[in-house]
Every structure is written in structure tokens, then in C-alpha cells.
Amino acid sequence: MTKTAIVGIIMGSDSDLPVMESAFEIFKYFNIPYEVKILSAHRTPKQHANYASTAERRGLKVIIAAAGGAAHLPGVTAAQTILPVIGVPIKSKALNGLDSLLSIVQMPPGVPVATVSIDGAKNAAILAVQILAQSDTSLKQKFKKYKIKLEKESIAKNKRINN
């Protein structure tokens, strides 16, 4: 039996998939059920509006929205749900993702989107885990162990370069 997704990952195009794969890996590591959808704020506005407006009722707790160029997807999503939305600006050919970053981070008051770095899907997933861990003791403990693992890996790397 498949667990019901609690994280929604949406992107405007399948060309964003290679960037977003690092988020999938984080959710698999933490055993967090997620779903992935291609939804465009511009090309599939009705489908996107339905997805965002029904997300909470369907059991989602966080949405990660990746977008490049004009990058409206995260903001339009945040406008249609009360769930936390994390925006991932995708690197674009024209402006190397700066256009995406500025589009996502410049939200009007009352419609926030947490924004990570350009192509920062891994950090978006880690932020989602941190949000979820606030109401899940088991996940919180696993996340604390993950942070210790990161620390140990960093110390080991330092030892390797200094020997």
C-alpha cells in the first residue's frame, strides 16, 4: 500500500526534473511520501488552480514549486493555498536563473514563498523536512541524526585534506 503524499512537488516543465531529483532523494532518505506533478501557471492554469486549492484537503502539508524564467508557479501556488510553499528558482539560459530567483523572492505581503538558491532543490526538501519535523517527533529525531551525519562527513573531509 502506498502512503498518501504529504509533500507536493510541482514544476512548470519536465525540463526541471533533473534539478528536482535531489529533492526526491531527500524524501526517500527520510521516508516521506511525496508526489510529483508537471503543472504550469501559464499553460495549465485550471489544473494548477485545482491542485493548489485542494492540496490541504488531499493531505499535503508542504508544497515545493520549481520554476524558471518568469517563475510565477510558486507565487500563484501560495496565493491559492494556506500550506507553506517553498520556491526553487531554476537556472535559465537568458539570465542564469537570476530572473527566476527575483520573481520568486519578490512576493507581496501576505503571500510568502520561502525561496532557496537557484537550482536549490536539495535545500528545499531539507527545509520541508524541517517544517514537517516540528509536528512529528520521530522525524525530528531522524533529522537530528542527519545533521550529526553531515557534521561527521565534514570533519572526515577536513581530516583527509589535512593529512
Q: What is the CA radius of gyration of the chain?
A: 17
Going along the chain from its start, the domains and CATH numbers come out as 7-137 (3.40.50.1970)
Asked if residue 124 has pLDDT above 90, the reply is yes
Give the lowest-confidence range in 45-49, 93-97, 158-162.
158-162
The bridge status of strand 7-11 relative to strand 85-90 is: unpaired
The fraction of the chain above a pLDDT of 90, given in percent, is 91
For residues 142 and 112, is the Cβ–Cβ distance under 8 A?
no
Give tens-digit pLDDT for 3-60. Answer: 899 999 999 999 999 999 999 999 999 999 999 999 999 999 999 999 999 999 999 9
- List strand residue ranges (DSSP E) for 30-110, in order: 34-38, 62-68, 85-90
- Whole-prediction pTM: 0.94
What confidence score (pLDDT) does residue 2 get? 55
Quick one: pLDDT at residue 93?
Answer: 86
